[in-house]
């Protein structure tokens, strides 16, 4: 035990939560006994659904996940009158993970024909009050190995809708009528038209910051049918009429030696050196200077923040007047023409003028591999932040998020934590002792990182991007001296390492 506790007054008889220092009345113990009975009943239900450490461990090894990913723009231009300004780029839906194939095989094995297990979807805008908003039905196409995608090309927001923000709603179901769930995009800002004024930090939500995701598209003579999106296929940059990619746009420190680059924070301004990196493949273009475009001229002396839906051009940094350009479906370099009358301008062609817009990604990952799920998987619980309180044997983890319910339990890898439901936005759990991860823990001298999962009582697993790390104290020199001097005394060695882990430092990580 921790020697720091040796001189403290004795604790009351141990109860399920006495290590938190709670004092219990008789009524409280009676209430807890009822909850314990409910907990036993819930656990037996979980075991009937195959929810054991072994099944969760198997899930972590195989990861038969189902992922729904919605890619969309941060802003949408409002339509006026009979004119429909379709969202550009159009929202894309990607389904990935081996779990989708497993689910369809289960439906197929239940006797459904091919038409019964086909995956379909509807997408529309979230409704306001009793208003009815038209939804767009679509089917999914095969993409790469185990991925499918679909595109909602005909979505728009009319001028009758007075909202300044809205979300997209995706409803997924199988053709036999079985519902998968309802998924929401991130919040989208409504604008009337691209701002022509010089942006300031008062309109920071319209400015584009370093490291944020953007999409670039080119539209010849304002014709919708001619729209081409910058994308990546086979490791090469292309101009695609079918799909668009999200790129991380980074500010580059121009003082770095040639061949190297260091990223900077801040808002993107015209005249800055930037780097475009594909968020999926990691493929990047050479360092470029972003320029403002005005009437097909590149403005060389403009220094102001880049705003949503602005026309811009990308001049290759190591060249005098070469620009990123599309030619049919290929990405090439175009040599601009200097303007003889005005030295601060260069004439571009149509393929060198790009429209820039910020993008967002809403991602949902779950798994039905632990048993047949009868209910919808939504509302989908999402973890936003973690807060650790205490340490050692009394460490408590508070999880902030949304759509939590009493039927959820927090798991540290394959270890279930004692979970307490506070409300729909907060769960609290006791951090499991390091010893629960196996008998080998006593000999470990390095950090142990485990993923954090939310698992519903029926075995539905909600994956998260958060992990938890147990870290031994770095001041372990005394323990090393014990190891060298008293190697034959195994009990002393185990006690010293146990003390080290009961004084464990914990770290919380969100994996990008």
Choose among 443, 445, 463, 444: nearest CA to 453.
463
Choose among 362, 354, 348: nearest CA to 274.
354
Mean pLDDT, consecutive 10-residue segments, the chain of 512 residues?
38 34 39 44 48 92 95 94 90 93 82 72 79 71 79 90 93 87 95 74 81 93 78 93 93 72 86 94 94 94 92 92 93 94 92 96 93 85 94 87 97 96 97 78 71 95 93 52 44 54 55 48
Asked whether residue 180 falls in the same domain as residue 284, the answer is: no
Asked whether residue 327 falls in the same domain as residue 210, the answer is: yes
* Residue 271 in tokens: 């005249």
pLDDT tens per residue across span 23-68? 344 344 444 444 443 444 344 445 545 689 999 999 999 999 999 9
At 318 the pLDDT is 83
Cα Rg of the chain, angstroms: 28
Asked whether residue 352 falls in the same domain as residue 463, the answer is: no
Domains held by the chain: number: 3
Residue 482: inside a domain: no
Asked whether residue 293 falls in the same domain as residue 397, the answer is: no
CB-based contacts of 382, cutoff 8 Å, min separation 6: 401, 402, 403
Asked whether residue 188 falls in the same domain as residue 213, the answer is: no
At 94 the pLDDT is 93
pLDDT tens per residue across span 9-23? 333 333 333 233 333
Asked whether residue 80 falls in the same domain as residue 163, the answer is: yes
At 473 the pLDDT is 60
At 226 the pLDDT is 80
> What range does the domain containing 311 cover?
204-358
Residue 366: inside a domain: no
Long-range contacts of 160-166 (CB under 8 A, 24+ apart): 161/78, 161/125, 161/128, 161/190, 163/128, 163/190, 164/189, 164/190, 165/189, 165/190, 166/76, 166/125, 166/126, 166/190
Asked whether residue 149 falls in the same domain as residue 213, the answer is: no
- If DSSP codes are grouped into helix, strand and coil, which group holds residue 226? helix
CATH number of the domain encompassing residue 449: 2.60.40.10
Distance CA 367, CA 462 (A): 7
Asked whether residue 227 falls in the same domain as residue 350, the answer is: yes
CA count, 13 A, side-chain hemisphere, 502 = 12
CB-based contacts of 75, cutoff 8 Å, min separation 6: 188, 189, 190, 191, 206, 308, 309, 357, 358
At 46 the pLDDT is 53
- If DSSP codes are grouped into helix, strand and coil, which group holds residue 109? helix
Neighbour count for residue 369 (Cβ, 10 Å): 23
At 443 the pLDDT is 57
Asked whether residue 344 falls in the same domain as residue 397, the answer is: no
Residue 289: inside a domain: yes
- Tell me the pTM: 0.80
DSSP for 381-440, please give it. Answer: PEEEEEEEES-GGG-EEEEEEES--TTEEEEETTEE--EEEEETTEEEEEPPPGGGG-GG
Residue 492: inside a domain: no
Residue 441: inside a domain: yes
Distance CA 6, CA 181 (A): 54
- If DSSP codes are grouped into helix, strand and coil, which group holds residue 47? helix
Asked whether residue 166 falls in the same domain as residue 278, the answer is: no
At 363 the pLDDT is 96
Residue 104: inside a domain: yes
At 169 the pLDDT is 95
């Amino acid at each position: 035990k921790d020697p720091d506790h040796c001189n403290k007054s004795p604790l009351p008889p141990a109860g399920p939560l006495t290590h938190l220092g709670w004092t219990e009345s008789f009524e409280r113990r009676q209430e807890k006994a009822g909850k314990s009975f409910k907990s036993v009943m819930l656990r037996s239900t979980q075991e009937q659904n195959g929810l054991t450490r072994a099944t969760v461990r198997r899930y972590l090894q195989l990861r038969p996940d189902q992922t729904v990913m919605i890619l969309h723009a941060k802003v949408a231009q409002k339509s006026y009158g009979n004119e429909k300004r379709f969202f550009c780029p159009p929202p894309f839906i990607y389904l990935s993970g081996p779990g989708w194939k497993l689910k369809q095989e289960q439906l197929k094995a239940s006797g459904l024909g091919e038409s019964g297990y086909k995956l379909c979807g509807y997408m529309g805008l979230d409704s306001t009050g009793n208003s009815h908003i038209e939804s767009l039905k679509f089917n999914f196409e095969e993409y790469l190995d185990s991925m499918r995608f679909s595109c909602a090309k005909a979505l728009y927001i009319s001028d009758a809708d007075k909202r300044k923000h809205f979300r997209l709603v995706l409803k997924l179901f199988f053709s036999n009528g079985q519902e998968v769930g309802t998924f929401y995009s991130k919040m989208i800002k409504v604008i009337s038209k691209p701002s022509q004024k010089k942006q300031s930090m008062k309109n920071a939500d319209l400015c584009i910051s370093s490291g944020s995701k953007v999409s670039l598209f080119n539209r010849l003579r304002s014709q919708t049918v001619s729209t081409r999106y910058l994308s990546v296929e086979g490791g090469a940059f292309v101009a695609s009429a079918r799909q668009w990619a999200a790129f991380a746009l980074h500010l580059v420190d121009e003082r770095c030696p040639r061949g190297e680059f260091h990223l900077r924070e801040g808002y993107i301004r015209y005249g800055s050196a930037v780097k475009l990196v594909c968020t999926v493949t990691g493929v990047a273009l050479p360092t470029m200077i972003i320029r403002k475009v005005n009437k097909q001229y590149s403005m060389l002396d403009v220094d102001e923040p880049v705003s949503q839906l602005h026309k811009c051009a990308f001049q290759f940094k190591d060249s005098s007047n070469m620009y990123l350009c599309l030619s049919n479906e290929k990405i090439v370099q175009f040599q601009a023409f200097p303007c003889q009358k005005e030295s601060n301008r260069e004439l571009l062609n149509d393929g060198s003028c790009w429209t820039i817009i910020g993008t967002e990604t809403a991602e949902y990952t779950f798994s039905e591999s632990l048993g047949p799920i009868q209910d919808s998987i939504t509302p989908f619980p999402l973890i936003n932040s973690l807060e650790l309180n205490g340490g050692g044997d009394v460490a408590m983890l508070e999880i902030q998020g949304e759509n939590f319910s009493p039927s959820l339990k927090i798991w540290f890898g394959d270890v279930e934590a004692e979970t307490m439901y506070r409300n729909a936005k907060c769960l609290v759990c006791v951090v499991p002792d390091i010893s629960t991860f196996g008998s080998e823990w006593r000999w470990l001298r390095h950090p142990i990182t485990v993923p954090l999962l939310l698992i519903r009582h029926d075995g539905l697993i909600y994956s998260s991007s958060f992990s938890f790390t147990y870290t031994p104290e770095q001041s372990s020199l005394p323990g090393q001296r014990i190891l060298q001097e008293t190697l034959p005394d195994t009990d002393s060695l185990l006690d010293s390492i146990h003390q080290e882990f009961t004084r464990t430092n914990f770290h919380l990580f969100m994996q990008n």
